[in-house]
Amino acid sequence: MPVQMELKRIIISEISERQIILLREVDDGSNSQDLRSFPIVIGIFEATSIDRRVKNIVNPRPLTHDLINSVIESLGGDLQDVVISELREHTYYARIRIRKDGELTEVDARPSDAIALAVTARVPIYVAEDVLEDVLNEMESD
């Protein structure tokens, strides 16, 4: 079962190319003491793009992730959610899931694009349960 996550924090460093976003399990009320979270390293462009969304900074012109959403809608699709589906050699892989004519289409993406798109289109972010377990195990052993 994929676990629904929310964007908990964006840590932007001006002296580094590598920025960090922190995802945390969504509190369903049952275990608010023990919500799992993990960081993902992303590029400055994606971090800035996500940061602007979260802060509701309005852009006068459609930015790149707005464009992706427009493309989906203009082709009759509907972004359903995004899933961080895999962790392989310290690299995360994600998929964006689009519903169209009752069918679900999955498209491979980097987690940074997937999350920026989810924040733009206000759809849920999921992470596969095994990915979440693997990353938490890795973090413990570090």
Q: Coil, strand, or helix at residue 10?
A: strand
Q: Is the dihedral of CA 93, 129, 31, 97 positive or negative?
A: positive
Q: Pattern of binders to a second copy over 100-129, x per CB under 8 A?
A: x----xxxxxx--x----------------
Name which of 21 and 98 has its Cβ closer to a second copy: 98
For residue 70 the two structure tokens come to 């427009």
Q: Strand 125-127 vs strand 78-88: parallel, antiparallel, or unpaired?
A: parallel
Name which of 22 and 44 has its Cβ closer to a second copy: 44
DSSP code string of 25-65:
E---SS-GGG--EEEEEEEHHHHHHHHHHHTTPPPSS--HH
Which residue in 116, 121, 106 sits closest to 43, CA to CA?
116
- State yes or no: residue 91 binds a second copy (CB under 8 A): yes
- State yes or no: residue 82 binds a second copy (CB under 8 A): no
Shortest CB 36 distance to a second copy, Å: 25
Shortest CB 142 distance to a second copy, Å: 23
Q: Which listed residue (62, 130, 136, 138) binds a second copy by CB under 8 A?
A: 62
- State yes or no: residue 16 binds a second copy (CB under 8 A): no
Binding-site ranges for a second copy (CB under 8 A): 45-46, 61-65, 67-68, 70-72, 74-77, 91, 93, 96, 98, 100, 105-110, 113
